Structure 1
């Protein structure tokens, strides 16, 4: 069942640096991830501000603002003269995908200290079906390379991922030889010099049932909500080069977008 759909375009070189006024929001997320990775328990004293300033590489004021947001959310408590303590642990760390830029999950995982892996990895040479042919603008029956797998995050199933590219871009043999289970196919294409420019992403909220193919490979024992991400990568000249369909389990991917005010209508 599809409840909501969002379509966005992501570009590697289309967005400038984030507004520094939003840095404290990023710091809030990084502190939250630090608490999860450090396995802090309720009642534990967290690192002091000076230590967070050094480890995060930001100002004390920014760290204080990020901590303040966690205090407001009820995760932390400041005790005069004693420090800051964990009231309740945050939810498990997850991949964080900023929709305003094209960045692989490999890069995100490295930044967050997460370990990625693969299960049920298959690399096949296949004929383009109707949907793949339309997305990649090739003739039906054209030869494609399909990479499918269960993405593991810290050893736990997080997503079912299917990527296809035309064989003229890279062969199945090359992918088998060079693809790393902890990386993305996009990482391989970029390392091979394929000039990726931007992508178009369609996001659906769906239900996955245990008896479905995706439900079986993700070891579901009951119906689960999930995020379906269908993405088409384009070359810098505008031609499609990769089509992907990813299904993420709840709590494994945090999608967000930062929007700056561009134009408003004066109604006075």
Structure 2
């Protein structure tokens, strides 16, 4: 591990010897140091991409052994909070934006991210007219001989891949898949078929190689698999979408009442 110097600023007192005094005395020292640094990262006292002092310097400043420092840092690397660069040092990991989304509101990805001040882009993976899958035909009340617009894209917020989204819209509603450049819901609203309600099913999933690669995470990473059927005001099913959301970027929240 390199001895990269820490930059000036709020991290200066992170490595003070008294920083560990508030921890649980029964807890091993390396775990107290691990928890202390994790809290400093969470509170922004250590910034993304900031270099940490070297092991020797942390050990000296906090009056602990280098073995204690090494074990604490190793745990933070495994947790994804720190990253180690060969020959360079240890740095606070760049963390993807964390999004909290209410399950009670029907919004498009574009509108949802923009409402949080995040810039959005999309990378098209597929735009074509083709027969519906069995599930698409079922949810959209189509026959196997009908056609649907298949719209598959990688959704990105502030430069971070967030979701892979595959939408199917009946050809009778959307004649040309190329008509969708940004928000699908905006296009449907322009056609007089704005989605006003939806049924959504969430399930835990582990990502396969292809989707994991698109989202920039390891194969097998945890994700949320979400299927949604959206309906216009006249009750017509206008969209069936199956998406995979990165498990480390999304919290879905529902408000519950008793009775």
Q: TM-score, normalised by structure 1?
A: 0.59
- Counterpart contact for 2:185–2:194, Cα < 8 Å: no
Indicate whether 1:113 and 2:117 are aligned.
yes
- CA distance in 2 between counterparts of 1:86 and 1:247 reads 29
Indicate whether 1:197 and 2:196 are aligned.
yes
- CA distance in 2 between counterparts of 1:75 and 1:189 reads 45
Choose the corresponding residue for 2:250, options 245, 249, 253.
253
Q: Per the alignment, in what secondary structure is the counterpart of residue 242 of structure 1? A: strand
- CA distance in 2 between counterparts of 1:42 and 1:132 reads 53
Choose the corresponding residue for 1:141, options 140, 145, 167.
145
- 1:14-25 equivalences under 5 Å are none
- 1:38-57 equivalences under 5 Å are 42=10
Q: Per the alignment, in what secondary structure is the counterpart of residue 103 of structure 1? A: coil
- Counterpart contact for 2:108–2:184, Cα < 8 Å: no
- CA distance in 1 between counterparts of 2:212 and 2:44 reads 36
Q: Per the alignment, in what secondary structure is the counterpart of residue 243 of structure 2? A: strand
Larger radius of gyration: 2
- CA distance in 2 between counterparts of 1:145 and 1:249 reads 25
- Counterpart contact for 1:205–1:225, Cα < 8 Å: yes
Cα 1:236–1:124 shift into 2, 3 Å:
same
- CA distance in 1 between counterparts of 2:130 and 2:213 reads 22
- Aligned-pair CA distance for 1:254: 2.1
Q: Per the alignment, in what secondary structure is the counterpart of residue 193 of structure 2? A: coil
Q: 1:232 matched to which residue of 2?
A: 229
Q: 2:155 matched to which residue of 1?
A: 151
Choose the corresponding residue for 1:176, options 175, 178, 195.
178
Cα 1:239–1:120 shift into 2, 3 Å:
closer
- Counterpart contact for 1:95–1:108, Cα < 8 Å: no
> Which ranges of structure 2 fall in alignment gaps of 5 or more residues?
1-8, 13-38, 49-94
- CA distance in 2 between counterparts of 1:257 and 1:214 reads 27
- Aligned-pair CA distance for 1:139: 0.5
Q: Per the alignment, in what secondary structure is the counterpart of residue 248 of structure 2? A: coil
Q: Per the alignment, in what secondary structure is the counterpart of residue 196 of structure 1? A: coil
- Aligned-pair CA distance for 1:43: 5.3
- Aligned-pair CA distance for 1:228: 0.5
- Aligned-pair CA distance for 1:262: 4.1
- Aligned-pair CA distance for 1:105: 2.0
Q: 1:162 matched to which residue of 2?
A: 166
Task: Give the number of equivalent residue pairs.
Answer: 180
- Aligned-pair CA distance for 1:131: 1.1
- CA distance in 2 between counterparts of 1:257 and 1:75 reads 29
Q: Per the alignment, in what secondary structure is the counterpart of residue 113 of structure 2? A: helix
- CA distance in 1 between counterparts of 2:189 and 2:10 reads 43
Q: Deviations over 1:2-57 (max 9, x none)?
A: xxxxxxxxxxxxxxxxxxxxxxxxxxxxxxxxxxxxxxx8559xxxxxxxxxxxxx
Cα 1:120–1:223 shift into 2, 3 Å:
same
Q: Which has the higher contact order (CA 8 A, sep 6+)?
A: 1
Cα 1:236–1:156 shift into 2, 3 Å:
same
